Structures are given as C-alpha cells and as structure tokens.
Amino acid sequence: MIAALGLLLGIVAGLFLEPTVPVWLQPYLPIAVVAALDALFGGLRSLLDGIFDDKVFVVSFVANVLVAALIVFLGDQLGVGAQLSTGVVVVLGIRIFSNAAAIRRHLFRA
C-alpha cells in the first residue's frame, strides 16, 4: 500500500516539478527506468510467491539500475551504445514479461 502510494507520489512529483534531466544522465535515465521497472515486477512476483524480502528488493533494484547504466556507458565508450541499449531493453523486457506472467498466474490462476 505504502509502496503504491510512493509510486503515485513519485509520478505526480515528476509531472509537476518538471525538473530538467542533467545532460550526463540523459543517456542512462531511460535504461535505468526500464531496469527499475524490471526490479519492481520482480519484487511484486516475489511478494506473491511469499518470498519477498526488502533487502533483496533494494539490492536488486539498485543493482539492476547500476548494471543497466554501466552497460549503456560501456556501449557508448565502445561506440555501440545504441545497439547495446536496445539489447538491454530487450532482455529487461523479456524479464518483465516473464515476471508479469508469473504474477498473472498467481492472481488469476491462469
């Protein structure tokens, strides 16, 4: 409940404060968001599985974001930033889909 409220609060704050994304953060923010989304779905699945652990959630959240940003950074340095970003998004997307499928099975038993 509090987590859902926090998500809502963050969205509202982002929409109304209209902060400018710093230039150094611009390439990493979208990938980081997707990675965090993956962590969020993973956390939700583990909650439904009954194995949710806040420490694991925090670590996976931060690690996901950092690794995604690192991959993008590395790709930019190697000159394949765009392709690597696409790859990361594809992988995270697959994970999100599988997590969403597990959640769906839990909630609807189908």
Partner 1 sequence: MSTQGAAGRPTSGRGRLLAALRPRASRGQLVAAVLCALLGFAGAVQVRATQDSDLSGLRQTDLVRILDDVTERTARLQAEARDLEEARRQVTNDTNGSRAAIEEARSRARTLGILAGTLPATGPGIEFTISDPDGEVTADVLLDALQELRDAGAEAVELGTPDGPRVRVVASTALVDAGDRAVEVDGRRLTAPYRYRVIGDPDTLSAALDIPGGVLDVLSQNGSQGLVTQQDEVTITSLRAAPEPEYARPAPEDGDE
**Amino acid identity at 61:** F
Report, in Å, the least distance between residue 73 CB and partner 1.
11
Alpha carbon separation from 49 to 11, 57, 102, 105, 106 (Å, rounded): 27, 14, 9, 11, 8
The answer to whether residue 73 forms part of the interface with partner 1 (CB under 8 A) is no
Contact set for partner 1, span 20-59 (CB under 8 A): 20-21, 23, 26-27, 29-30, 32-33, 36-37, 39-40, 43, 47-50, 52-54, 57-58
Note whether 33 and 92 are within 8 A (CB): no
Note whether 72 and 84 are within 8 A (CB): yes
Residues within the interface to partner 1 (CB under 8 A): 1-15, 18-21, 23, 26-27, 29-30, 32-33, 36-37, 39-40, 43, 47-50, 52-54, 57-58, 61, 76, 79, 81-82, 103, 105-107
